[in-house]
Structure formats: C-alpha cells, structure tokens
Structure 1
C-alpha cells in the first residue's frame, strides 16, 4: 500500500482545499488502484448538533471520492468555548459548518475562517432569511429554540454533559452512573458513537484499550452499565490512523501506531478482554456511526433480560 500524503497548500485560499490523499489496490493484482481524498469537516452548534450533523453528512455523501473527518462541537455558546475550537480548526483546516444563532459568535467564526482561508457556512441562515422574508418578521434567535424544555430535553443535555466528561477514559470512578460504556483500541469510533448516543439521552462513557495497560479497576466492577467492545479490521484502523497522523511533527515515530501487525495484536488483546468478561463485541468496519449505535441499542433489552 502506498504511503498517504498531504497535499500541500501553496497559499491559503478557499479554492485550494486541504485534502488527504490515499491510494490502494483492491482485490487482486489486476485490480484498479483507487484513490480517496479525506478532508476535515468542522461542525459547530449552540445546541446538540443533530441538525448540523445531518446536513453535513447529507452533503458529504454526494462526493464518493472524498470522505469527511468529522469534528463535532456541540453546546458552543461562549467566546471562550469558541476560541478553543478555532485553535483546533486552524491546526486541522477544512470546511466549517455551523448553527449558531448568536450573531456575534457567528461573525467571529466567519472572520476567523476568512483569515485562515477556509470556507464557513451558516446552515440555518438562508432558511431564516426565507422565513423572515415570507413572514415579514425577524427570527427571535434563541439557541436550541427547536427543543422543547421538557424532561426529555434535559435528560439529553445531562447525557451529553456526562459523555463529554467521560470521554477517553476520564473520571473512571463514576462509571457506574453510565448507561453504556464503550471500550476499544484507538480509532474504533468510540467518541463519535458516544456523542451520538448521548444525543439520544443515553449516558455513555468510553475507555481506550491499550496493549499492556490494565483496565481501570472501576470498569471491572460495574453492575448497571452495558459494556460493549468496538473493533474494526486492522486495514481500516491502519488507514484511519495514517490519515489522522498526517500533519504531525515529521520527527514523530508513528510506524508502530499504524503497523497492521501491531494493530492485529491490539485487536486480539481487545477481543480477549471482552471474551473474558462476557462483554459483547461489535465490528464497526462497515458500519456508520448511526448503524453502530443502533447495534449497541439492540443489545440493551437482551442484556437487561439476562440479568
């Protein structure tokens, strides 16, 4: 497989997108070499981000030669929160979509993206303009106005806060409060799947599995949460890791991180842990985040009935 490479920007200009290219042969030696481009898609929302995520994925699906590396930033309502996000975007430039009704924050997003030479699009603004023109009245511009402030709404917000606080192995003593705990080696979609589940009101924690490092003691003693292991093919994980590492410092050793033999050992370690603890395993190789979440939720009634 050819090494991945980053197309260099001659200068910052929105007409010259930052794309990660990857070429590989599929099947036998006579197969045609397929080249895919990867780009960063930053999604900034002052609410849960469901509307934005759906719009971004619907647009990205129209480009079969390019795949989006999604960066989701929900509940962004302050300049301090936004400043950190803009730093992340500057480090990994790409397309920026946002649903932020606060015009001051929206202006900061547009100005920053313009300075970076990348596009920014307010997904709701054209719709609001059409409504305003037709109804003859301006929008109230309330963040999350589409959400009814009922018990279900607050349950979802609580779940999202919990999930973000328990991402990547954080706060292991509180694991018993989770509804679902996802475990897996690096790049098995733990974080995006956790956030998707949280948007449905499910408190989700995720814990990375690292070869040779013992599991948190709290994980081995949980009673209430459903623990699910996520795996993928070594080829897919290697591919994602290679593209993820593009743009890191040239001197950084990433060979072992992206080596398929090492990844296969990591996967064997993950499977062994799940088998020993009788935790179900889901292969995410050919699943979207939504499909992975649906498979996880399908396990809950069975697990509960077995208790």
Structure 2
C-alpha cells in the first residue's frame, strides 16, 4: 500500500515573521498532527486542549501512518507552507529526530504527545519501553471483544430482539431523541454490549424487560425544551410536516418525560439527565455506573 493520499505538496515559499504572527495572533492557527498510526490518540488530545480556547480556532492538518522518511518529507513541506504548532506520536527515532530538527529550522513549536508519558512510566517502572507502532490496535482479545459488542449493539438497537437483552451488559431506556442509539454505539466501541429500547406513552414496556437481571438498565431523559428542539431539527432535516403533531408539542413531551421517569423510579433504575451532556459524557456516566455495579455485585437486585 502506498503512502496516504494527503493533498499534494506545493513549492515552498518563504514566510515572513509578520505573516506567522498574523496567523498565530488572529482567529486561527495551523495545527499539524503527525502520527505513525491512525492518529486517533493524537486527535483526541489535541482537540481536548484546543477546546479550552474560545477566541481562536485550529486548522487541523492530520497525517496518519507516517512510517517512512519519504512520507515524512511530504509532511515537512506542508508544515513549512503553513507554519503552526506540530504535535506528534512517532516512535521511530530517525523520524522523530528529522521532524524536530526541521521544526526547529522552521521556527515552529514541536512536541511529542507520548514522550512525557513514556518517560514517566520508564522512571516509575525502571524499565525501557519496547516501541511498537499501533500497539493499541492489535488484533487481540480486547479488539475482538469490541467487535462482538458492536455486532450485538447493532442487532439490539431501537427495541430489536428484546428477548436477547438479558445477554447485554447495559440496556438504555428513554423516549425518542434521548441519544440512546449514539450512546449505545459509543459504549459498544468500548467493549460494552448495549441494547436500547424506545419508550412511548400508552405502549406498555414488555414485561420481561422489567425482570432483567444481568444487564445494567439505565434510564435517559432530557428537559422538554431540549427534546422539542432536537425533534424540530430532525423534522427539518427530514423535511417532514408535523407542526401540529404531539411529537413536538411541549406539554405532550413533558408528559412523555414524566411517564419515563415514573417507570425508572418504579424499577429503581439509575437515571441520567442528558440535557446538557455530550454522547461521550453520557457514556462516561454509564460506564461509571457499570463499574460501580461490578465492584458491588451483591447489591444487584
């Protein structure tokens, strides 16, 4: 397989100090992310850091699978063309040396994301690391556990195959637009088999779902205003004309939420308010509940 198909590099041109300062002190800056693997770790860390700055935006240049000097040279051309911050996760010594030397020559900051962590581990463990590119993506038991969880979750989405919910690790319940499906998929990517079921007022919950023993059952809800907003946006996206429908009527939605919360309380299921939570934050809350349940299995009813 050839090198990744990044934009073709163009002839390098000189950048003056004033050009660099205008970009850096303006409303944007260039952020170069160089990885010898998929770049997922690097992107996550970079976005978590840049999200702390409201007045400036990062223009991301992502270069995954950089494993040869030829591939690195193409990256260096683009860094010189659009100078900015360079963050990298490269484990091959020659590549690291070349990247850092050229960044110093260009006058741009350059830092390894993994370097400080590896040095800390080495200091604490008293052992040298054994660099392996993409080690976290090996086809090991953990990888196949995640694939199995994804398969299960897709087959048990939106109330499908509820008779198999007892085999799940987590079951999410909630009315329409409480982020059940995306949260389920996120959990599955963490190796958690997840089923979800939509609650509809007037439609009884299948009795066997109230008797689930193995999975952690979690109720999701949001404020009426938030649910109405999401549903209206969805209808706009679908170009559906349901303006008089109870689907987006605030009072009707409030009754749906009240109905769902009474069900959660009656069954003593933990409840998560997703009104202001991202999918990642909701999933983190579910994982915390699951970890607590596994630490104290004797409390499982």
TM-score tier, shorter chain, comes to 0.5 to 0.7
User: Do structure 1's residue 273 and structure 2's residue 210 form an aligned pair?
Assistant: no
CA distance in 1, matches of 2:232, 2:200: 18
Residue in structure 2 matching 1:154, options 144, 153, 163: 144
In structure 1, distance between residues paired with 2:51 and 2:43: 12
Report Cα offsets for 1:228-279 as digits up to 9, x if no partner: 0001111111111111110434544563111111111000000010111111
Aligned partners of 1:210 and 1:132: how far apart in 2?
A: 58
d(CA) in 2 for partners of 1:295 and 1:146?
Answer: 24
Q: Which has the higher helix share?
A: 2
Partner of 1:248: 238
What residue is the counterpart of 1:127 in the other structure? 64
**Structure 1 residues without counterparts, runs of 5 or longer:** 1-47, 65-122, 137-143
Cα-to-partner distance string for 1:174-233 (whole Å, 9 max, x where unaligned): 000000000000111111111111111000111001111111233122110000000111
Matched, 1:163 2:153: yes
Q: How does 1:52-63 map to 2 (within 5 A)?
A: 54=44
Gap change, CA 1:250 and 1:222, over 3 Å in 2: closer
Distance of 1:176 and 1:271 partners within structure 2: 22
The aligned runs of 1:1-307 (5 Å cut-off) are 54=44, 126-128=63-65, 131=68, 133-134=70-71, 147-252=137-242, 255-304=245-294, 305=296, 306-307=299-300
Distance 1:256 1:57 in 2: 39
* Helix, strand or coil at the partner of 1:168: coil
How many aligned residue pairs are there? 197
Greater fraction of residues in strand: 1
Q: CA RMSD in A?
A: 3.5
- Comparing 257-266 with 293-302, greater Cα deviation is found at 293-302
> Could you say what secondary structure the match of 2:285 adopts?
helix
CA gap of 1:56–1:258, structure 2 versus 1, over 3 A, is: farther
Instruction: Please say if residues 184 and 270 of structure 1, whose CA atoms lie closer than 8 Å, have aligned partners that are also in contact.
Output: yes
- The 2-side partners of 1:52 and 1:213 are apart by 46
Larger radius of gyration: 2
SS in 1 for 2:192: coil
Asked whether the 8 Å contact 2:39–2:64 carries over to 1, the reply is no
Secondary structure of 1:169's aligned partner: coil
Name the CA distance, whole Å, in 1 between partners of 2:247 and 2:53. 29
Asked if structure 1 preserves the Cα contact closer than 8 Å seen for 2:235 and 2:242, the reply is no
